[in-house]
Amino acid sequence: MLGKRLIQLVLFFLLSFELQAQAIEDSSYQYYLNAKHDEQIELGKSALKQGIDYYYLRYRLGVAYMGKRNFRKAIQQFDKALKMNSGSYEAKSMIRDCALAAGIEKLELYSRPFTGAKTGFMQQVYLESGMKQSSFTDTIGNPVFGQLGLQVALGPFVSLFAGYALAYQNNLTLNFRQHQLYSHLTIKPGIAWQVSAFGSGMVANVALNQSDSVFNEFSGLAGVSIQKSSGNWEWSLGAGIGNLNKLRQIQGGLTLTWYPLGNDLFNLRCMNHLQVQNASLTPIICPSTTVKLFKNCWLKAEYLRANSTNVWEQDGYILNNNPDRTIDKSTLLLTYKYAFYHDIYLVSQLEKKEALIEETTTRPYTFSNLIVGYTYRIH
Domain containing residue 75: CATH number: 1.25.40.10
Return the amino acid letter for 182: Y
Distance, in Å, from the CA atom of 51 to the CA atom of 24, rounded to the nearest integer, reads 12
Domain co-membership, 21 together with 128? no
Nearest to 73 by CA among 95, 92, 55, 56: 95
Count CB neighbours of 73 within 10 A. 22
Burial state string for 138-160 with b = 16 or more CB within 10 A and e = fewer than 16:
ebbbebebbbebebbbeeebbbe
Looking at the 3D structure of the chain, how many domains does it have?
2
Distance, in Å, from the CA atom of 162 to the CA atom of 268, rounded to the nearest integer, reads 28
Domain containing residue 339: CATH number: 2.40.160.40
Instruction: Write down which residue in 65, 93, 115 finishes a domain.
Output: 115
Instruction: Write down which residue in 115, 132, 159 finishes a domain.
Output: 115
Q: Considering the entire predicted model, what is its pTM? A: 0.74
Which residue pairs, CB below 8 angstroms and at least 24 apart, start in 93-96?
Answer: 94/59, 94/62, 94/63, 94/66, 95/191
Q: CB–CB of 180/204 below 8 Å? A: no
Could you tell me how far CA 218 lies from the centroid of its own chain?
A: 27
Q: What is the per-residue pLDDT across 187-225, written as a single tens digit (0 to 9) for each? A: 877 667 788 888 887 777 766 655 556 667 777 778 888
Torsion 223-285-364-346 (CA) sign: positive
Structural domain including 149 reads: 123-377
List the pLDDT tens digit at each of the 379 positions of the chain: 555 555 555 554 545 556 677 778 888 888 888 888 999 999 888 888 888 888 888 899 999 998 888 888 888 888 888 888 877 778 877 887 777 666 544 444 444 444 444 456 788 888 888 888 888 776 677 888 888 888 888 877 788 888 888 888 876 566 777 888 888 888 877 667 788 888 887 777 766 655 556 667 777 778 888 988 877 888 999 888 887 777 788 888 999 999 887 777 789 999 998 888 877 888 989 999 999 888 778 899 999 998 887 666 544 444 555 667 888 999 999 988 877 678 898 999 998 988 776 666 788 889 898 989 998 877 6
